[in-house]
Structure 1
């Protein structure tokens, strides 16, 4: 079953358009899904020129989106070519990012595409253009009117990570660690893995404090908050262990002993997983009613426009999104 995916170029000042041009040239990509490029034609052309590749722009009208096959292009006019500034944070770049994303979400919500892949956004640019949310994941949930639990999921090969807190200051983390938040993060990881076909996935929960608190010497969050949630999940027959010291839990993950790690804060997991495979990491908008994925790295302003962007993580995001979209279509048809 070929899913139908909308792809948006990300921030035009970064490597996004180049990445998508490289993605479309990868073996097997056009056979795996019907692809709708959503965004201004000159952005895709710019990416093709940077990659020194051909990008097929087969323009279609919005009325024809429900019936397209192969690779098609829904043209938008969201940014003047003169306003594209390579390697710069601009309001114009944030505006086109939001408008292209909005259109892709509209198509997905209407059932005209099965999933959305976006190239890297720049949060500063999006904020200047009116993001008005903690991050693009919170923005998407609000745009879709989704009020259920959702959180960013990071994927590296067969390993998945979720986190209890995300884009908040480190000084605020401890006060935001609570039982319901930990339980929700565990359940999101467990259910996402189960939907992807992983039988009885092993979810490891990281501690908050050094040495998992050392029996309360360095803090009681492990004893009073984290351990009771882990025990409650085990009583529900979930394969959950922890809390594990955060400086060793990813050694277990690297050895393939666990399928997911639930961390307490952003960098606790991000540093480890990016060191393990920065060029392959994928971010999933976990919990949203539509599949959404993106490469885990950023806009890479340091190499933008130089034609040397690595497509590895974007290809991983595409392949994962294809699998997620197929599952979503199967579940919807059941």
Structure 2
């Protein structure tokens, strides 16, 4: 491995879904091993399953448990997390969730130890993760807890060159307005800015979406824009940050689609997700924003309806890999300079 070429740990996600097939397809894409050296983490039979489901070869060059002996190209760190007979394609199982968590833990261990520069995971099934002992709101909070990270972090959604962050996430709509605070908006802006800079964007343009229809229409439909959002935007601008808004949420994504902004800070989950998925469902990426190590995954789920049918589209996984490589390269350089 060269000084600039990052090393990426890849785990299959839930073995019952399309993750193993997606990773097999990814490894056979042109330029993947030129961009990064790969450490496959997981059971040999799961990777073989992916090869069979995709009809594409997956070479398993075995390395040591601490990634000792990692060479250029594709390497395999063996694990025994699930018996072959316990892999039930297109079914939610405790065993599938256990496999997912154990592989994730190992990949995070490697990243914390500096053995890899980033982690890519195939889609997880949240029901399976929960049954296996996730004991967290989602995998992002699980990862933060596992890493002992107590700083601000949140899921970031990415489509091509556009990122979205959220002021609120997995809560009911009736709770959203009371959770909108200046501090929360500032953190969402900062997360977008920091993540874009880690991906190589020096001065990103960040647009803040309004909460209310027509951006509140001068207070007619709510005062969050007047009392919270506008002051936060003005304070960011006073610090020479490239932040604008609050923009009506039914038009801000038109600006994003035209490439006029690099990120949109949304107020709640579906405000950004609906727009992103309509613009490119098969290219969407999820980044574990704020964590001390780069982590990414395709934004779609395990797709049990097509699992094992050679129909999985590698587009989002390839986008996740390419973004992760950029972030991992910068992470590796920053670690070397520290």
Q: Do residues 73 (structure 1) and 89 (structure 2) align?
A: no
The answer on whether the counterparts of 2:15 and 2:46 sit within 8 Å (CA) in structure 1 is yes
Please tell me whether residue 255 in structure 1 is matched to residue 258 in structure 2. Answer: yes
Contact 2:63 2:69 in 1 (8 A): no
Asked if 2 retains the 8 angstrom alpha-carbon contact of 1:118 and 1:293, the reply is yes
Deviation per residue, 1:208-251 (Å, 9 max, x gap)? 11111112222211111111111111111111111111111000
In 1, the alpha carbon distance for the partners of 2:292 and 2:69 equals 19
Separation in 1, partners of 2:227, 2:65: 54
8 Å contact 2:165–2:264 — kept in the other structure?
yes
Given that 2:67 and 2:77 are in contact with CA atoms closer than 8 Å, whether structure 1 keeps it comes out as no
In the other structure, the counterpart of 1:167 is 170
Query: Which residue of 168, 187, 190 maps to 1:187?
Result: 190
Give aligned pairs, total. 334
- Corresponding residue number in structure 1 for 2:323: 320
Match of 1:125 among 120, 128, 147: 128
Give 3-state SS (helix, strand or coil) of 1:65's partner. Answer: coil
Distance in 2, Cα, partners of 1:2 & 1:237: 33
In the superposition, the TM-score normalised over structure 2's length comes to 0.96
1:63 Cα offset (Å): 4.3
What does residue 145 of structure 2 align with? 142
Q: Distance in 2 between matches of 1:205 and 1:145?
A: 30
Secondary structure at the aligned position of 1:26 is classed as coil
Partner of 2:276 in structure 1?
Answer: 273
Cα distance in 1 for partners of 2:333, 2:64 equals: 28
Q: Which of 161, 178, 181 is the matching residue for 2:181?
A: 178
How far, CA to CA, are the matches of 2:140 and 2:288 in structure 1? 6
Q: State the alpha-carbon separation in 2 of the partners of residues 97 and 65 from structure 1.
A: 23
Q: Give unpaired runs (5+ residues) of structure 2.
A: none
Determine if contact 2:67/2:115 at 8 Å carries over to the other structure: no
CA distance in 1, matches of 2:324, 2:206: 22
CA change 1:64–1:190 in 2 (3 A) is: closer
In the alignment, structure 1 residue 158 sits paired with structure 2 residue 161:
yes
Task: Say if 1:166 and 1:47 are closer, same or farther in 2 by CA, change over 3 A.
Answer: same
The alignment status of 1:9 with 2:29, answered yes or no, reads: no
| Residues 42 and 226 of structure 1: CA distance in aligned 2, closer, same or farther (over 3 Å) | same
Q: Is the 8 A contact 1:66 1:112 kept in 2?
A: no
Q: Which secondary structure state, in structure 2, belongs to the residue aligned with residue 173 of structure 1?
A: helix
Aligned 1:213-228 pairs, distance under 5 A: 213-228=216-231
Alignment root-mean-square deviation, CA = 1.2
Whether the 8 Å CA contact 2:25–2:54 is kept in 1: the answer is yes
* Among 19, 38, 43, the residue aligned to 2:41: 38
Q: 1:214 to 1:10 in 2, by over 3 A?
A: same
SS in 2 for 1:147: coil
Q: In 1, distance between residues paired with 2:125 and 2:241?
A: 37
Q: In 2, Cα distance between the equivalents of 1:8 and 1:195?
A: 22
Offset of 1:89 from its aligned partner? 1.3
The 10-residue stretch of structure 1 (67-76 or 112-121) with the greater mean CA deviation from structure 2: 67-76
Listed one character per residue, the Cα deviations across residues 136-179 of structure 1 (whole Å, up to 9, x for unaligned) are 11110110000111111111111111111111122221121111
Residue 197 of structure 1 deviates from its aligned partner by 2.9
Q: Provide TM-score, normalisation by structure 1.
A: 0.97
Q: Does the residue aligned with 2:13 lie in a helix, a strand or coil?
A: coil
CA distance in 2 between counterparts of 1:196 and 1:12 reads 30
Q: Is the 8 A contact 1:42 1:81 kept in 2?
A: yes
